C-alpha cells in the first residue's frame, strides 16, 4: 500500500512550470523586461500576466523546497501511537513550521489565480482589492458565469470527506487552519481552556490537506493559462 509521503511526492512531482515560458528574447541573451502604458493594451496585459506568472513560479519553488524539507524529517505515516498532548519532537516541530510555510504560500497562489482572472477577463478590480473568495463567487453567478469559476466556487464549499481521493473539504480545512494561526492561536499547540480548545493534529495530516489544495490551485492556474491567447496579446509587436 502506498504511503502518504509517496502519494504526496507523486502529486508534487506532477506540478511543473517553465520559468522562461513567457520571456520575450531579444538577441541571444537579452529579453524584454516589461511594458507600461496608461491604458490596458494587449501588450500591457501580456506583461501583467507575465509578472503574475513569474511570481507563481517563485512561490511554487518555495513550496517544493518546504515539502522536501518535510520529507527529509521522516514523519510517522500512520496515527499509531500519536498523542496530541505529548511533547513535540524537534522533527515534528520543524515539520509543522514548513507545513505552515506551505499553507501561507498556497493561499498566495489562490490570490494570484484571482489576479490572473482580473487581468484576463478585464474584471476591473483594483489590484489591491482582489479577494479571491469574493472574486470567484462573483464570477460564478448569473448568465455570464465563467465555468471554471463555478467549479472553483463549488470546491471552496466542499464538505469534509476523507473517504475520497483527494479528500473533500481541503480548502475549507486549510483556510480555517490559517485563520487560527493569524487571528487566534497556533493549531499546532494543544489547548483546552476558555480561550481555545485545540488538539494538535499530526503534521502529516495537515500536509496531506495543504498539498492536495496546492495541487488543486495549480491545476486551475494551468487550466486558465492554457486558455489565454498569448500570440494575440503579442500581436502589437510581433505581427
pLDDT per position as a tens digit, 156-175: 999 999 999 999 999 999 99
**What's the number of domains the chain is made of?**
1
Please give the radius of gyration of the chain, using alpha carbons only, rounded to the nearest integer.
Answer: 20
Task: Report d(CA 168, CA 194) in Å as an integer.
Answer: 30
Q: Hey, what's the cell of 234?
A: 503579442
Question: Using CB atoms within 10 A of its CB, is residue 103 exposed (0-12), middle (13-18) or buried (19+)?
Answer: buried
In a domain, 137, yes or no: yes
In a domain, 224, yes or no: yes
- CB under 8 Å to 226, separation ≥6 — which residues? none
In a domain, 95, yes or no: yes
In a domain, 238, yes or no: no
In a domain, 8, yes or no: yes
- Asked whether 206 and 100 are in contact (CB, 8 A), the reply is no
Task: Report d(CA 172, CA 213) in Å as an integer.
Answer: 10
- Triad 134, 207, 129: Cα angle to 5°: 20
- Which of 53, 44, 57 has the alpha carbon at shortest distance from 122? 44
pLDDT of residue 198: 64
- Asked whether 228 and 120 are in contact (CB, 8 A), the reply is yes
- CB under 8 Å to 12, separation ≥6 — which residues? 64, 67, 211, 214, 215
Neighbours of 151 (CB within 10 A): 14
Neighbours of 154 (CB within 10 A): 11
Helix (H) or strand (E) holding 50: helix 42-71
pTM of the model: 0.92
Weakly modelled stretches of the chain, pLDDT under 50: none
Residue 227: which domain range? 4-233
DSSP string over 150-162: HHHHHHHTPPPBT
In a domain, 206, yes or no: yes
Give the chain's largest Cα–Cα span: 67
Where on the phi/psi map is residue 74: left (φ > 0), alpha (ψ -120 to 50), or beta? left
Task: Report d(CA 83, CA 70) in Å as an integer.
Answer: 20
Q: Which residues pair with 25 in a beta bridge?
A: 31
Neighbours of 55 (CB within 10 A): 15
pLDDT of residue 31: 63
Amino acid at each position: 500500500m502506498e504511503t502518504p509521503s509517496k502519494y504526496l511526492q507523486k502529486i508534487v512531482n506532477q506540478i511543473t512550470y517553465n520559468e522562461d515560458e513567457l520571456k520575450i528574447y531579444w538577441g541571444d541573451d537579452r529579453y524584454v523586461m516589461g511594458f507600461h502604458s496608461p491604458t490596458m493594451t494587449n501588450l500591457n496585459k501580456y506583461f501583467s500576466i507575465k509578472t503574475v506568472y513569474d511570481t507563481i513560479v517563485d512561490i511554487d519553488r518555495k513550496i517544493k523546497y518546504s515539502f522536501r524539507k518535510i520529507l527529509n524529517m521522516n514523519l510517522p505515516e500512520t496515527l499509531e501511537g500519536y498523542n496530541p498532548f505529548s511533547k513535540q519532537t524537534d522533527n515534528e516541530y520543524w515539520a509543522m513550521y514548513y507545513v505552515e510555510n506551505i499553507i501561507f504560500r498556497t493561499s498566495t497562489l489562490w490570490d494570484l489565480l484571482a489576479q490572473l482572472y482580473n487581468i484576463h477577463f478585464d474584471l476591473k478590480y483594483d489590484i489591491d482589492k482582489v479577494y479571491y473568495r469574493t472574486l470567484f463567487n462573483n464570477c460564478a453567478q448569473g448568465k455570464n458565469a465563467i465555468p471554471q469559476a463555478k467549479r472553483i466556487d463549488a470546491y471552496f464549499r466542499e464538505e469534509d470527506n476523507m473517504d475520497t481521493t483527494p479528500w473533500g473539504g481541503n480548502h475549507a480545512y486549510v483556510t480555517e487552519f490559517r485563520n487560527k494561526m493569524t487571528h487566534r492561536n497556533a493549531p499546532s499547540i494543544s489547548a483546552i481552556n476558555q480561550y481555545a480548545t485545540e488538539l494538535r493534529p499530526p503534521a502529516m495530516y495537515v500536509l496531506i490537506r495543504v498539498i492536495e489544495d496546492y495541487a488543486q490551485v495549480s491545476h486551475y492556474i494551468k487550466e486558465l493559462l492554457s486558455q489565454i491567447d498569448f500570440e494575440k496579446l503579442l500581436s502589437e509587436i510581433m505581427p
